[in-house]
Amino acid sequence: MIVIQKNHIDRLKEEDSDFKRFYIETLEQQITCIEESRFNLITLTAEERYSKLLQDELSVLQQFPAKYLATTLGITERQLSRIRKKILKL
């Protein structure tokens, strides 16, 4: 991880048009991801959200503890455990 002070980012955006373009594209991508996550939280069941995460971000499931995954999915660890057991049986 690299930590860069806000004033350095601002200066880079002013001085380097390529960096400014990269910065804006990165922000747009993050906003899109956040909106998609919010939409999925509203429209999909917990099991559907977990299945989608399995399809789209398998590496995430392997890197983070269950409590963080459960929070991301908007469920409890117990619910996540039940969903995992159910999917394993399929």
- Which pLDDT score, from 0 to 100, does residue 59 have? 84
- Which pLDDT score, from 0 to 100, does residue 11 have? 96
- Which pLDDT score, from 0 to 100, does residue 51 have? 92
Model confidence pLDDT, tens digit, residues 57-90: 888 788 889 999 999 899 999 999 999 999 888 7
Q: Would you list the domain boundaries of the chain?
A: 1-43, 45-90
Compute the CA torsion angle 7, 13, 14, 15 (nearest 10 deg).
100
Model confidence pLDDT, tens digit, residues 10-53: 999 999 999 999 999 999 999 999 999 999 999 999 999 999 98
DSSP per residue over 36-75, as a string? HHHHHHHHS-HHHHHHHHHHH-HHHHHHS-HHHHHHHHTS
pLDDT score of 56 more than 80: yes
- Which pLDDT score, from 0 to 100, does residue 60 have? 77
d(CA 86, CA 34): 28
- Which pLDDT score, from 0 to 100, does residue 61 have? 81
